[in-house]
Amino acid sequence: MENIEPIAIRPIVKKKMWFRRLGLWTTGIGSYYIFTWVYDYIVVSFFLIYLGLLRGAIIVVILSMLVDLGTMKFYDWLKKDWLALETIKELDNRHGIVGKLFSFVRGKGVVLTIIVLSLTSNAFVVTAYLRKGIYQYDGMKFRDWVIFISSSLLINLYWVFVVGGGIELIKFFYYNIF
């Protein structure tokens, strides 16, 4: 049976839906940002300082892949767009300014998109954004695994370089100037 509702109620229902989405996104993005900040700056630094650059980098790569895979499993299990990734993909198919912007970025090729997104995010976000389909929380296909591994290696090498370089720079100044 078709859901018949008065036309006057439709805008109210749409507003409630968007408020719910905004609440979910605020909570999801805020929590995820805090979690990734702690991981990127505290956990990565800890392993690089105490295990050295090479052993620390190996542990960081393995740990971050496990964390990102766990996050992907949680994302698929929850079946909620808590990071607005599915909404962004949906906008990508539209012809507004935002949709054209995201279409432009994705239209430059998967490799360039992986590189750009990896330097600003992590393997989970890159893989979830580049998965085929919208609102399909159905695990990872072969293509998704390739994207995940490529992105994970790229972002981890970048972070080891940035954080490890910063640590070595601090050590250099500490031992040679002070």
Q: Which of 37-51, 122-136, 144-158 has the lowest mean pLDDT?
A: 122-136
Q: Mean pLDDT over all residues of the chain? A: 82
Q: Which of 175, 58, 75 is nearest to 125 (CA)?
A: 75
pTM of the model: 0.75
120 contacts 64 by C-beta, under 8 angstroms? no
Neighbours of 151 (CB within 10 A): 25
Q: How far apart are CA 56 and CA 58, in angstroms?
A: 5
Q: Which helix (H) or strand (E) holds 42?
A: none
Q: pLDDT digit string (tens) for 101-132?
A: 666 766 777 787 888 778 888 899 899 988 88
pLDDT at 14 over 70: no
Tell me what pLDDT residue 8 has: 45
